[in-house]
Structure 1
Amino acid sequence: MNILMLGWEFPPSISGGLGVASQGLAEALAAKGHHVTFLLPKKNQTQVSQNVQLVDASALTPDIDFWKEKKVYSETLAETSIGTLLMPYLAPEVFEEVREVTRKRVALKSTEESELLEQIELTGTYEGNLHAEILKYALLAVQVAQQTKPDVVHAHDWITFRAAVLIKKTFGTPVILHTHSIEQDRNGVYAQQHVMSEEKTGFEQADRIIAVSQKLKYAIVGAYGIPSDRIEVIPNVLRIKGSKSPSTNPKHIAFVGRLTHQKSPSIFIDLARDLSSKGHEFTYSIIGDGYLRGDLESRVIASNFSNRVRFTGFLERSELLKLLNTVDLLVVPSASEPFGLVALEAILKGIPVAAARGIGLGEFIPSIPQVERWDHYSYVQLIERLMTDDHYREYITSHCLKEAKKLTWEKATTLTEKCYQKAAAK
């Protein structure tokens, strides 16, 4: 099939798991013989692929006239022809033939869309004039679809939904919206209404929807009233070889994720405080960035265990995978975790995970130990057991790894192909 994939991220330039998952699926589909074009808002030199055609929207020459409003009007012209045989001393008017001809004319009038194409610069970030960038990306996506003539459009998360819907309205191309999280997952009570509006419009117009877990599927149905039979559940997959040797004296505990309320890094600090107060001399890494970082750093500075806590900030994927080799336990205390790609990365590296109950990955790896995020007593007990009980630690690590290996690209791409077939058959 000829697939046009729309995504805002592609490794190594990513903000989280979205880009990693998008790249993985695109590469896996291309490896099965599909032609995959991946449209990025702005591509840099580090973003490369041997099998997927990466297109930089910011480098495209906008077709301004395509988006201008076309005004058709009639114009009557008087055409005069002069005879080829002219006689001396006779006026030319004697040989003139005059007739009226009506012709249709097309005038192009500037529109908001055509002006945006000329004025807005695509940065590919989530900052600045994001609303205008999303619209320009959508207009350029239509231009790419006109050239590539895809069989299906596959869009990743809300930021590309408008582009997918516009392509469908323009050309009638089937649209699949791949959802890694919804706004209520990301921001809870702070959910932004304009983002929810983008999601709602996209879901209502989509031919099929892919959710990365049953948990996310139920969230889409509950938040937006989408019929459940239009949503397919396809888990994320990773190819990572285990490179960490078993720890004989585990010390290092890590949190990885955006420093936002969704990911609950404050709970991680609370757990570190409680473990320290019980005499454990573990070290802690908080890997990621976000609007809570300043408050979290202030809390740690005011504590009596600040010398054991390190804030790394956001790390590029290669740096993250390297640092994970030093980690003995990953704690995932998220208020909402529709899938949990970093947890899968840890498990594939042989690192146990202590998760808050409800992590989407737990649907596919049921051996992940989970506790209620608000139950600090039970959470501390779980961490203590994973860090001090060698037999239990080995049991959890081996069982989780065995279950994780059942998540394969062969299964994921087969399910995706079936999803495409259902969308095209509508």
Structure 2
Amino acid sequence: MTTAPTAPVSPTATASPAGPATVTPTAQPDDGLAADFYQYEALLPDDEREILLKARAFLHKDIKPLVNEYWGRGEFPFEMIEKFRASGLAALAYEGYGEHKPATSHLLGGMLATELGRVDASTATFFGVHNGLAFYSIHYGGDQEQRDRFLPAMASMDKIGAFALTEPLGGSDVSGGMRTTARREGDDWILDGAKKWIGNATFADYVVVFARDVDDNKVKAFVVEKGTPGFRPEKIEGKIALRIVQNAEITLTGVRVPEANRLHDIRGFRDVAEILRVTRGGVAWQALGVMIGAYELALDYAKERTAFGRPIAKFQLVQDLLVKSLGNITACWGMLVQLARLQDQGVFRDEQSALAKEYVAARMRESVAWCREIFGGNGIVLDHDVARFFSDAEALYSYEGTHQMQTLIVGKSITGHSAFVG
């Protein structure tokens, strides 16, 4: 799941005047993941590990059985919302809405996002859009009254959120080329334009829409509530990835939004970039989960599938694919653990978040392909799950900033020269 920023919560952390806090791992529990080769989960304090284990059990018992049927049909399982509501997972982002008081550390938040990706990338995306992009946009950009009005219902999942930034003719370049406009008219704003690839938008109660103010040319954000006249979302059909996610193309025609629904602390695209800086790391954690899910499937299959009278796990080339995948998982996990520590300390930078998304998504893409390869022909049907991971990896590789855009962000940081066009 994409998570909003959290402060450190770690009873095992110790600080010294010479440097940042260090964490002493506890012993790896017996129920640790096979993919956790370097015992990263042991870095969690006991209370947070308990939350992770409960979330793991919930996702495998209540969510995983729903996935393949709905993925195959390209539909959203609305009963899943009630299951999440009962689990309390959405409320973990914050204990309070105005005090920026977190309920969990970034490390736990990242590992929860990994658990979601390990079960299903579509579910992780739905949750990340609601609990990360939409929730955090209001938390970060709204004033106290707006946080009190919108966020409690979102934390309980009585209301579902969406985040509308990308446009039909603007993806990576939307910062300078946003075509959706906002025009002030008395106590209201009039929104006109279009958005595309907006997850959850076909059924969301609150959609955070970004538009360019025609008067000062600055990007502003508005909470558009479900049923507002002139707001028309249409489901995008024919997707080969994240088929459970209900992505929409939105047409806004004279959409009237009250000034009370303008997020008052979003004053330009710099604030939008801050939101993306925070949530981008959550996508990297999701990508790690997709890698782990595919690896676990491939490992189990290799032990059970026989060829030439023995399990294919005994074949050197199969072991090579598994070990390379595990190496990618382990390296990416280490990168993300340190990113979480930097976030908890409040010192992480945009380029660090960008490198995590760029690197982990690329390693996910190659690892999932290796894992699918182990299945042979069985790897292209839903029956064995890995085909879903293989397809969904393509979407995670591209969204929340493409591989190339993340590369340019990091490249500008390390060279001091911008290679962006324009």
> TM-score interval w.r.t. the shorter chain?
under 0.3
Larger helix percent: 2
User: Bigger relative contact order, structure 1 or 2, given CA contacts below 8 A and separation 6+?
Assistant: 2
Who wins on radius of gyration, i.e. which is larger?
1
